[in-house]
Amino acid sequence: MLDYAVEIVRLTTQLRKTATGRQIASQLLRSGTSVGANYEEACGAQSRADFAHKLQIVLKELRESRFWLRLVQKTGIINDARIGDLISETEQLINIIARSVITVKSKK
């Protein structure tokens, strides 16, 4: 998750050249970097329910990040081949975390 956050930071640094870019960068930086922080919190959960709840927050932040990444890609604000890779990585993380939430919730 740390590497994911690093890529988000690198991308948002490139976005900050216009008012629109700064606004999108701010939203993406917040959601994209919170993924790793919230995952770390989940790893320290005090119960199965707490773990599931924290993973759901990770999932929510990943979905928001995917939206901002897709917006950057569609608008062409910057032309960086890494955007497609980041979208793909985000979707893979969404699938992994979603399966983890389902597994945790099914083991009650």
Degrees, nearest 5: CA angle 107-43-29: 120
Q: What pLDDT is stored for residue 45 in this prediction? A: 93
Q: Which two tokens stand for residue 102?
A: 């389902």
pLDDT at 108: 61
Note the CATH number of domain 2-106. 1.20.1440.60
Within 10 A of 76 (CB to CB), how many other CB atoms are there?
8
Q: Which long-range contacts (CB under 8 A, 24 or more apart) does 12-15 make?
A: 14/78, 14/80, 15/72, 15/77, 15/78
Q: What percent of the chain has pLDDT over 70?
A: 99
Domain boundaries, the chain: 2-106
Distance CA 24, CA 90 (A): 17
List pLDDT tens digits, range 13-67.
999 888 999 999 999 999 999 999 999 999 999 999 999 999 999 999 999 999 9
